[in-house]
Structure 1
Amino acid sequence: MDTKLIRQYGEDILCYRHRAARKKKRMQYEDFDKQLIHLHKEERQLSKQKRNLGWEALTPPIQRGWKRFFVLREDVARSKHKVFFENILQKINTYDFSWRKDFKQKKRIRGRKIYVVKPQSLLKLSELDLVKLEFNELEKQFFYEAWETDCRGLFVKRFVFKEPWRFVLRVKPNMVDKVRKRDNLIEARLQEIDDYLSKNRFTGRLNKILHGSDGNSWLKFYEKEKEKYRFKNKSLNQILNLINEQQWNSGNGEN
């Protein structure tokens, strides 16, 4: 409360809870933030209820496209090491889905659109994956270390299977025999909350309340990390070309 009011009317005015305009404005922001937090909690609770509705059988089952995955090659399946490589395959197998049985997709090559087979590879593991999937020392010997760039442009270490020829791809119909149960009231309320947050652009404010950031600070962090590894695994000529290009760009910017 303003001290001028206390000097003018005395300390008795404190019992009237008179608030300054600045404090009123701050209380409005705090009340709005509490409403956003309440909506976030309601959304999490409804999402949990939606996930726990369970499944119901679909009779008769229907086919939705095709699925492709790795299996043991015939000679490996007949060998005495069948169980060993089956255990490895269960941990690094990947599944892909397509509406086409041949798994072809459009690709533009020299201005022409052609159909090429969609590539698929075994799972490349991180150090944490080796621990989570409980690889023993013998299984680890079938992997080698490789450095590659991830989706953020950062160099990361991966463990790649040494003998991928032991596995072959197999295509099967993707049969669906069960579907999730649905609750129209839950889905309508979730859609209402999502529309309110997205259309009014309150998502950034909610992220800042919950995580201390509006979601854009991670871009600055990854830009710094990307700059740190910019010259990694590059030859001297490539490094000099990058430096010259950076100097040329900065010079043009100054002009």
Structure 2
Amino acid sequence: MENDNLLYSRLRSLRSRKRAIRKDVEKQIRTKYKRSEELWDIRRNIPWIPLDKPYQRGFVRFFVIREDVMRSKDGDFFEGILKKINTYMYSESRRFLKKKRKFGRRIYVAREQKLKQISTYSWNDPKLGLTPRERQYFLKQEEYCPARKMYVPYYEFTESWRFTLRTRPNMITHYKPVDFELEKEYAELGDYLGQYKIVGIIHKTIYGKSYPWKRKREDISLIRSRKYVTCTISATEIAESLQDL
């Protein structure tokens, strides 16, 4: 009798076995995720090696301060702002064109380049280092995001006329050596962690939520929702039109 009780105590239920398997899988995923983060840091910290013979690879376009603004007393002030919102665009030719389909034909149009828009997260981030005086030159705007189905606020520089675009040859002066074994391991981990089910487990167990970027439906304003933006007729007008039938 005692042997039977000991045998039954050692037998695990189906629910317990499933829980143990799930915990083991989550542990393996967490281990591979940490290894992937370590490899990413190693790849990022590989030192650059200067080239013996630098070469040109296309052109780069960026913003610079206008000469009249630079000669003014606030030249250094706006130069500091430009360092935080400057953008760089690369192209094979100096014209910076892109293909666009118009009336069934492919044409080339100029690529538009704007200053960097500051998100609300970066706006409050001390790493950006915006001073109270610099914040006065930014205006808060909102733009609809189809993926999140909501209006996303951002901050835009109001006096963009103080800067102008400049194009220069894009010179390659350094290169980063490639470790094939490291790249192979990092690619294998990326393929595994990029699977649909694995991504869901990572978001739930490591990040804390399965879909942290989604909001509750009741938090979304009905007026700002795309579902109601397209409605141009009011409810009373619809009712009156139905009564006339």
Equivalent residue letter for 2:223? F
| Offset at residue 181 of structure 1 (A) | 2.9
Gapped runs of 5+ residues in structure 1?
1-6, 245-255
RMSD, aligned CA: 3.5
| Offset at residue 95 of structure 1 (A) | 1.3
| Offset at residue 88 of structure 1 (A) | 1.9
Alignment match, 1:148: 143
Cα 1:182–1:91 change in 2 (3 A) is: same
Equivalent residue letter for 1:192? E
Deviates more, 1:205-214 or 1:179-188: 205-214
Whether contact under 8 Å (1:155, 1:229) holds in the other structure is no
Alignment match, 1:166: 162
Gapped runs of 5+ residues in structure 2?
237-245
Equivalent residue letter for 1:147? E
Aligned residues: 233
Q: Verify: 1:228 aligned to 2:220, yes or no.
A: yes
Q: Using structure 1 for the length normalisation, give the TM-score.
A: 0.73
Cα 1:243–1:211 change in 2 (3 A) is: farther
Alignment match, 1:84: 77
Equivalent residue letter for 1:13? L
Alignment match, 2:171: 175
Whether contact under 8 Å (1:231, 1:239) holds in the other structure is no
Match of 2:28 among 31, 35, 48: 35
Whether contact under 8 Å (2:58, 2:92) holds in the other structure is yes
The alignment partner of 1:116 has SS state of: strand
Equivalent residue letter for 1:135? L
Instruction: Give % identity.
Output: 34
Alignment match, 1:248: none
| Offset at residue 115 of structure 1 (A) | 0.9
Alignment match, 2:101: 108
Cα 1:243–1:174 change in 2 (3 A) is: farther
Provide the rounded CA distance (Å) in 2 between the counterparts of 1:113 and 1:204: 40
Q: Deviations over 1:170-212 (max 9, x none)?
A: 1111122122232222112222233344569544334433235
The alignment partner of 1:173 has SS state of: strand
| Offset at residue 67 of structure 1 (A) | 1.1
| Offset at residue 119 of structure 1 (A) | 0.6
Q: Using structure 2 for the length normalisation, give the TM-score.
A: 0.76
Whether contact under 8 Å (2:97, 2:109) holds in the other structure is yes
